[in-house]
């Protein structure tokens, strides 16, 4: 025999309706708010002046001292070399971007200033292994940073075509030093 409904029964209905109303009001609010996503790379992203992207590496200046790898808190720089000092020969310089946290600590101890934080941020690939960038192999192709897959597309928008040309020329990205941060103005490294 069923008695009158418990008070908890109505409380549950009230809670359900209330949470639906709250959820729908949030959804509605976002329906009419300004869009924050953009169609990249068709639209350009304006990064912060000191944005740290995928590294740019000048292999010809590297003396294989290992200081960057020792400074890396997550051990994601892999260096292989033979010889010491002036006779050092680099055989491998790779960074695993599945671990890198873009802290830039590797750039600070470099005695020849040959490792830099770049401006590109996307490293799309088809396998997990694609996240390990072999910078020496890139150097052999005249590049200092990996080229995102979208850069191989035809009909790139103007800003992207310019960026692609810069990467192909092996030029370092313009950057801003701490001293120049006010006023914000890009300073070319070379």
Cis peptide before 183 (omega within 30 of 0): yes
Binders of ligand SF4 in range 89-108 (CB under 6 A): 95, 100-106
Q: Does 64 bind ligand SF4 (CB under 6 A)?
A: yes
The dihedral through the CA atoms of 125, 126, 132, 137 has a sign that is negative
Nearest-10 Cα torsion for 118, 123, 129, 135: -30
The DSSP line for 17-28 is HHHHHHHHHHHH
* Binder among 41, 54, 56, 68 for ligand SF4 (CB under 6 A): 68
The smaller minimum CB distance to ligand SF4, of residues 42 and 113, is found at 113
Q: Encoding tokens for residue 25? A: 């009001």
- Comparing CB distances to ligand SF4, the nearer of 100 and 123 is 100
CB of 76 to ligand SF4, least distance (A): 5
What is the token pair recorded at 45?
A: 């992203």
Residue of 12, 42, 66, 80 interacting with ligand SF4 (CB under 6 A): 66
What separation in angstroms does the CA of 112 have from each of 17, 60, 67, 115?
A: 65, 10, 11, 8
Number of residues that bind ligand SF4 (CB under 6 A): 27
Task: Kindly give, in sequence order, each residue whose CB lies less than 8 Å from that of residue 86, ignoring residues fewer than 6 positions away.
Answer: 63
Nearest approach in angstroms of CB 148 to ligand SF4 is 18
- Quote the least distance from Cβ 156 to ligand SF4, whole Å: 28
Region from 60-68, 131-139, 150-158, 163-171 binding ligand SF4, contact rule CB under 6 A: 60-68
How far apart (Å, rounded) are the C-alpha atoms in residues 114 and 135?
12
Interface pattern 108-147 for ligand SF4 (x via CB under 6 A): -xxxx-xx--------------------------------
Q: Which residues bind ligand SF4 (CB under 6 A)?
A: 62-68, 71-72, 74, 76-77, 79, 95, 100-106, 109-112, 114-115
């Amino acid at each position: 025999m069923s008695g009158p409904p418990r008070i908890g029964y109505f409380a549950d209905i009230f809670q359900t309706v209330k949470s639906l109303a709250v959820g729908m009001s949030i959804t509605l609010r976002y329906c009419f708010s300004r869009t924050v996503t953009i169609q990249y790379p068709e639209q350009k992203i304006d990064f912060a002046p000191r944005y740290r992207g995928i590294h740019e590496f000048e292999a010809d200046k590297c003396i294989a001292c290992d200081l960057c790898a020792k400074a890396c808190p997550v051990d994601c720089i892999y260096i292989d070399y033979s010889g010491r000092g002036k006779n050092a020969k680099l055989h491998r310089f790779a960074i695993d971007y599945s671990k890198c946290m873009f802290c830039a600590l590797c750039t600070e101890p470099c005695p020849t200033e040959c490792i830099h934080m770049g401006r590109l941020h996307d490293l799309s690939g088809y396998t997990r292994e694609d996240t390990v960038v072999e910078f020496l192999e890139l150097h052999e192709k005249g590049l200092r940073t990996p080229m995102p897959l979208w850069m191989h597309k035809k009909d790139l928008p103007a800003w992207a075509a310019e960026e692609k040309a810069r990467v192909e020329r092996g030029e370092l990205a313009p950057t801003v030093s701490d001293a120049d941060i006010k006023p914000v103005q890009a300073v070319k490294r070379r």
